[in-house]
Structure 1
Amino acid sequence: MKLSKLYILPLLTLFVLGCTDLVENPVGRLIPDGFIKSEKDVQTAIYGAYGKIASDNYWGREMAAAIMLRSDMVDIGNRSTVAARIQINDFNANSTNAMIGTFWPMAYQSIDAVNTAIDGAEALEPTDGIKALIGEAKFVRAFTYFNLVRLFGDIPYIDEPVRDPEAVATISRTSESTVYQNIIGDLNYAKENLPMGHPLDDIRSRPSRGTAYTMLADVYLTIGNWQEAYNHAKWVIDNAGSLNYSLEADYQDLFDSGKQDGMPEHIFAIEYKRGSAWPYDYDSHAAFTGMSGSDEVAGFDVAVPSLAVYSTWDSRDYRKKVALADSAHYNGLLVPYTKFQGTQRPHIAKYWRRMGVPRDLVTDTENNYAIYRFAEVLLTAAEALNEVSGPTAEAQGYVNQVRARARNWAGKATDFPADVNTGISKDDFRTLVLEERRLELSFEFKRWWDIKRRKMGDDVFKGPNSLEPHPNFNDNQYLLPIMQRDIDLNQNLTQNPGY
């Protein structure tokens, strides 16, 4: 995250431990009393949380990659990669999985940083600036817990700084429903107190009021409150002009690192700056998804779509051309994917094709990762409105806006994908919107959430049209295991079913 790099480095020794670490090694974790004395101190603590989110150990690779591998859009390419990745992909991860063991504590480190910010800010004079910073901190806390609750279900919920590390050794899991209530409460505060515009020259890595409304729409969509999901998405759409939100004209530009800063389609993004110190503010997705040995990218060949993802995607769809690379240069020669050095399948191209760095620096790129973009808001409104009122002209219109942009093939008008047929049924429109999300948001860490919230696992992993068959999938695997090391340290923590 570009902004955070300016402020985070002095704080890394303050915010370095997670739940397990708080029990095992509390020395050096506790925030000094009186640390926060001004707005700047509050902001600095919040930037500490952003640094954790942008870390290679969290969004820069480990958690985001787990979400990607869990979906039906991505399989393991190089099967000699570390076992933890294969376990996540193949639905046989256990409670000692090293990938989970990396991002689980990093999430709680981020939470502790914003809890410290909120606690300190609430002791200061409640100016508009302080309220906005509390809103920002609560947004970050909600964002982090939203990821955790979807991954693990019931989780330890901590909403104040940890001053007594021993207390962590007795904390219990909070119910999923209560965690969602707390997330909604944080976001309601954020939407009332954050500014309409993004701060600091429209930086999209910090939230605005529109960001809070967008995430609330996503939360309500996840828990099946269709009316509130629609209401919040509709507010963002109706206020798009004031919020400076719109669709980019060319889908490819969304993944061009030289055009991403302040991009109107980005509602909230994780930003990266080349030259950062690993693991903080460090991005590895280009390498993780790129093919090995090509002239364009020195990739790890790990997260690679199945051939079915490629072959079933209509070649008239410009988004397929942007999202996937079915050829690459080797020693100056353009070769098809059947002659790639590593996995001989088309590879994800979104994160390395226009990353803004030389081939040998793909583990430290300039890419920004859009957590939310305006196209998703349109599809959220369409899906939620269909559940409330059926496939109305309004709901269809939101999908048609997304499809209209897809018909712009690098400036050339095409006729694919066509607008939605007006006589479509409610059930068919539901299926259509979920499919539109799969393609429009392909490889953007969204598909697993859709599979989970709609309970599509049996269909997408065991059905006759499965893109990535996993016959061993069962409903227990909608959740990941709680780390065994945490359970060993805390007798009040229980394991998820099936692990």
Structure 2
Amino acid sequence: MKQKTVTSYIAALLLLGVLLTTGCVKDLLEREPSTELGTGAFWRSEADATFALMGAYADIRPLFDRDYYFDGQAEYLRVRGTSTASGNLQKGDAYNGGDYSPSGYGDNFDKMYERLYGGVHRANYVIENVRKMLPAASGNSLVQLERIVGEARLLRAMVYFRLISMWGDVPYIDHVVFDNAEVAGLTRTPITQVKDSIIADLTYAFEKLPVKAPEIGRASKPAALAFRGKVQLYWASWNTFGWPELDTFMPDLAAGTNAYKAAAEDFKKVISDYGLNLFRGGEPGECDVLGKADKLPNYYYLFTPVANGDPEMIMAFSHGGTGTNQGEELMRDVAGRSHEGSQCWVSPRYEIADRYQSTITGDFADKLIPMNPANNPAARTTLNSAVNPQSYTNRDYRMKSSIMWDYEVSVGMISLKSTGWVPFIYRTWNQPVTIDGNSFITYNTDGCNSGFVLRKFLRNTAGLGRSDGTYNYPVMRLADVYLMYAEATNAVDGPQADAIQLVNRVRHRGNLPPLAAEKTANKEAFFQAIEQERIVELFGEGQRSFDLRRWRAIERVWNPPYGNGVWRIDTYGAQMTRYFQNQSEREYQQNYIFRIPPGERNRNPNLTQNTPWL
């Protein structure tokens, strides 16, 4: 029997916000009550509770399923716009209006703040009403209702974790709000207290959720443990590296060490207790020759619907297809006009290519050399030239799975039908070209300014529109847990054999040899190896900018304040954009913590502002 999915439950719930609430939450203080039907007409059965939970999933999913945009705040991905639709929460307008450049982004996330509190409201609505049903329930019905509360508390924990990761201290609301007056004078709750509440939610979820959810897209025990471990890891990072921009927070090294240990313990259970494995056993799979894409590595297929329901996806938000209004828009974001008129809002930066290591040596290859073929006839044949396809031989399989360079191909699509192979050739958009005696029309994607486009997340098959993808977007993957476990144990005890083995398992999917001895010789060297794997394994999944902030690494990547900054270039050697040029210390601080939305503070004078934004 085909496994049920969350989207199959919520296909009929497109108007759930009308049925159960009076509308989308516009902001923290302008919120309408969520009890229009009342307990007399609703909240009578387990089916009612499940119906409401699916509404919570539907509302909270768009707060996390475009997290690849956040990678634009780091150094390896460019985000030049978003496909979010203003005013439509189902299409993810929490991301709309945000700034996804490496600098100057901390003041542009008012909508995200507001929508996250909408997620809190939705989760609280489920938690509070299902709790009222518990005393009258028994047997399996009680188990299922407690499971629903556990899922809602996990969702609430995810939302609050995002809130504190961006804004630090935030108001904590754990009940349904019936009147704006209830929140009109709220103060910001200290981050320690919010963190403890998040941990409590995740602990309850762990206790009540099943070992494996029978429905794709619903949470299970490993998800609760993995998120609890991640919260502890971030808590450890903030206590170890400091968070001076949050002036109410005092780092404590001992607390950091304890949090690292707690994180490692949770991650270890996820890894050891549930029989989870990497997608297709973590094997590299086949990697086609340069310029071909009939056989792509397993890592590529991990980001296609083939992987829906796979054990590596510890938690993923499910999406529907054509006609459901629940499709993901990955192709619209990562592809160009040759793929159903997509917009290429998101593309790799030139510098990511040099992060993919050699499958022969297991270490970094010689850096690519930018060359412009328009004025250098030898550019296409020079060794290590960035526009010579042969320069990309014998690289980490995740490279061919994640990015495309000159003469790499993908399947073009128009009106849900394939147009055949489309070769990418930088600055040659929608032009006829002959390759090995065969005629093609080149990839039309002038949104790219680096010489690379994404293959990761791009469907290689026709049949669905650019906004109708069915991929279940992962918010927690087993490979990430492996790397977080390695980071946590290394921080306390240095390189450990089991952690090294797990990092090597992640590397193996790229067909790389195990780490050389010098990469695990000490804590510092192993941390660099872990960071390297996080860069290439989690590329485009929204992790890098959060890593840079929790590690206090922005200055390491972009140079210190008042410096010349760093140029981003393309494969031709052109200087495209310079970031952090002559920026002040205050401007760096504003990238480490986000601005409390002025609109919220105007309505509530008790909301203080983060120091860099005063």
Q: In the TM superposition, what are the counterparts of 1:411-422 in structure 2 within 5 Å? A: 416-421=512-517
What CA distance in whole angstroms lies between the structure 2 residues aligned with 1:276 and 1:49?
21
Q: 2:50 aligns with which of 38, 43, 50?
A: 43
Would the aligned equivalents of 2:171 and 2:187 in 1 still touch at CA under 8 Å?
yes
Q: 2:74 aligns with which of 45, 66, 71?
A: 71
Secondary structure (helix, strand or coil) at the match of 2:579 reads coil
Secondary structure (helix, strand or coil) at the match of 1:104 reads helix
1:176 aligns with 2:191: yes
Structure 1 counterpart of 2:232, one-letter code = Y
Displacement of 1:228: 0.7
Would the aligned equivalents of 2:106 and 2:593 in 1 still touch at CA under 8 Å?
no
Would the aligned equivalents of 2:27 and 2:117 in 1 still touch at CA under 8 Å?
no
Task: Tell me the residue number matched to 2:176.
Answer: 161
Q: In the TM superposition, what are the counterparts of 1:72-471 in structure 2 within 5 Å? A: 72-77=75-80, 87-93=99-105, 95=107, 97=108, 100-125=109-134, 127-200=142-215, 203=216, 205-224=217-236, 225-241=259-275, 244-248=276-280, 249=283, 250-257=298-305, 259-275=306-322, 281-290=326-335, 292-294=336-338, 296=339, 298-314=341-357, 315=392, 316-326=395-405, 327-328=408-409, 334-340=423-429, 341-342=445-446, 343-344=448-449, 345-354=451-460, 357-358=463-464, 361-407=465-511, 416-421=512-517, 424-462=521-559, 470-471=579-580
Displacement of 1:394: 1.5
Secondary structure (helix, strand or coil) at the match of 2:132 reads coil
TM-score (norm 2): 0.70
What CA distance in whole angstroms lies between the structure 2 residues aligned with 1:441 and 1:70?
14
Secondary structure (helix, strand or coil) at the match of 1:40 reads helix
Structure-2 change in CA distance of 1:378 and 1:339 (3 Å): same
Unaligned runs of 5+ in 2: 1-5, 87-94, 136-141, 237-258, 284-297, 358-391, 413-418, 430-444, 569-577
Deviations 1:256-289 (A, max 9, x none): 22x12211211000111123565xx342232122
1:479 aligns with 2:593: yes
Task: Tell me the residue number matched to 2:59.
Answer: 52
Secondary structure (helix, strand or coil) at the match of 1:75 reads strand
Unaligned runs of 5+ in 1: 408-415
Structure-2 change in CA distance of 1:233 and 1:432 (3 Å): same
TM-score (norm 1): 0.86
What CA distance in whole angstroms lies between the structure 2 residues aligned with 1:173 and 1:134?
26
Displacement of 1:447: 1.1
Secondary structure (helix, strand or coil) at the match of 1:372 reads strand
Displacement of 1:338: 4.2
Structure-2 change in CA distance of 1:268 and 1:121 (3 Å): same
Structure-2 change in CA distance of 1:461 and 1:356 (3 Å): farther
Report which of the two has the higher share of helix. Answer: 1
Secondary structure (helix, strand or coil) at the match of 2:517 reads coil
What CA distance in whole angstroms lies between the structure 2 residues aligned with 1:405 and 1:65?
21
Structure 2 counterpart of 1:350, one-letter code = K
Would the aligned equivalents of 2:206 and 2:221 in 1 still touch at CA under 8 Å?
yes
What CA distance in whole angstroms lies between the structure 1 residues aligned with 2:160 and 2:24?
14
Which structure has the larger Rg?
A: 2
Secondary structure (helix, strand or coil) at the match of 1:275 reads coil
Structure-2 change in CA distance of 1:148 and 1:405 (3 Å): same
What CA distance in whole angstroms lies between the structure 2 residues aligned with 1:301 and 1:145?
31
Aligned residues: 470
Aligned alpha-carbon RMSD (Å) = 2.9
Would the aligned equivalents of 1:272 and 1:368 in 2 still touch at CA under 8 Å?
yes
Structure 2 counterpart of 1:238, one-letter code = S
Structure-2 change in CA distance of 1:24 and 1:183 (3 Å): closer
Task: Tell me the residue number matched to 1:11.
Answer: 16
What CA distance in whole angstroms lies between the structure 1 residues aligned with 2:68 and 2:318?
17
Displacement of 1:176: 1.7
What CA distance in whole angstroms lies between the structure 2 residues aligned with 1:429 and 1:357?
44
Question: Which one is further off, 125-134 or 427-436?
Answer: 125-134
Secondary structure (helix, strand or coil) at the match of 2:594 reads coil
Displacement of 1:466: 6.2
